[in-house]
Structure 1
């Protein structure tokens, strides 16, 4: 096999798993067998392992010694950390999008919103969830900062895992009005308003999750009392 083809397939496997996670087609805890990937993509185990290692580096899968890979199952504490990180990063992304905005970039945002709305109207929840995440990744791309964009790829994928684990059953597919409102603020070049909205939007997503009450960390004295 030519090295170039192996590298290309490695990326295809990585992208396929990320997309399946974002669409909730690969739920947390799903076992990812190397042999199945080898058969599906006609590649060696070496190529598959490279893809799985990259997925593990991005906290999308967990590699278990002698037991293979599984899709990660984030804890409530990890979920809160991920959303806190997203708020911090997306507060930086939105002003950069406004600073670099062009008619072409605005049209890309409108096209993304149209795809989201189409998925919602058709009842395709998996596509709707995936496209919602891709909307945030598009903003990261339009911000023009490759480092922030790289962070967002990991955080959006981990957010999809978190939603798959902790989403309250029966939550309806509501309209993405906040995405529409964000576009309006970007068009007005309202950096302060757009930044406040993205933070509120992420807080609302987290609030809809069934994460329970945050665990209080004990002090050493409390932990050792009575011992």
Structure 2
């Protein structure tokens, strides 16, 4: 075998990297509201947008379906999920329980490096205030996944990531413009409680915070923007290529 030959292992690795890149790009496009809830996601159009095969797209759509960001019915095209208000409230209810566990795990166990990382993220949220609604929603969700990552509990990390993604989609569907802005100060209060080791206060603030996010978000329905899918995904192709 020459050095130029591609082994099955390398071929599988490249395919996996392609799929991961498209997954990250498409997921971000959904969360950032570039693609509105209810938008159809034809495999050929998505594949052409990212320069990948329909097989890759199919695996990505299946992964996003498991996370609740995409809806797939038998013999029908995949679409960006469009949860009902009842489903949205159920997601927030589950999320509150999961994030209480995150607070209970981290309170009193924060290292200086962890604290610095969280405060840097909140600073990024502050810079996004009033400037970019979609970015504010994405950063707000990432604050919670960052907290979960710090627990080291793989199952908790996965579940929080999934519900946080669904909540970002819900805010894209029902939220008012910049409805996440007043959450930044609440994030700072959560960090302060964790650093003090004040579990009770941290749990209370997190619970109040998520209740407020749900209240601010579930108000009015945004219309679906009628644009070509290829145009919507154009800005996300470089993100897919990075993986």
TM category, shorter: 0.7 to 0.9
CA displacement 1:89-139 (0-9 Å, x = unmatched): 000001212253111111110110011011115x11111111000000000
1:107 aligns with 2:128: no
* Structure 1 residues 169 and 110, CA gap change in structure 2 (3 angstroms): closer
RMSD of aligned Cα (Å): 2.0
Decide which of 72, 82, 87 is 2:81's aligned counterpart. 72
Give 1:147's match in structure 2, choosing from 146, 155, 174. 155
Counterpart CA distance in 2 for 1:33 and 1:171 is 31
Query: In structure 1, what is the equivalent of residue 197 of structure 2?
Result: 189
Which 5+ residue runs of structure 2 have no aligned equivalent?
Answer: 1-5, 221-243
**Alpha carbons 1:96, 1:144 under 8 Å: kept:** no
- Aligned equivalent of 2:168: 160
Report the CA distance shift for 1:181/1:51 in structure 2 as closer, same or farther (over 3 A). Answer: same
Partners of 1:169 and 1:129 in 2: CA distance: 10
Q: Could you list the runs of 5+ residues in structure 1 that have no partner in the other structure? A: 213-227
Residue aligned with 2:212, SS: helix
**Distance in 1 separating the partners of 2:62 and 2:76:** 14
Alignment check: 8 A CA contact 1:6 1:43 kept: no
The correspondence for 1:37, drawn from 46, 59, 66, is: 46
Aligned residues: 211
Q: Is the contact made by 1:100 and 1:143 (CA closer than 8 Å) also made in structure 2? A: no
Counterpart CA distance in 1 for 2:54 and 2:115 is: 43
> How much has 1:169 moved relative to structure 2?
5.9
Q: What's 1:205 paired with?
A: 213
Normalised TM-score (structure 1): 0.86
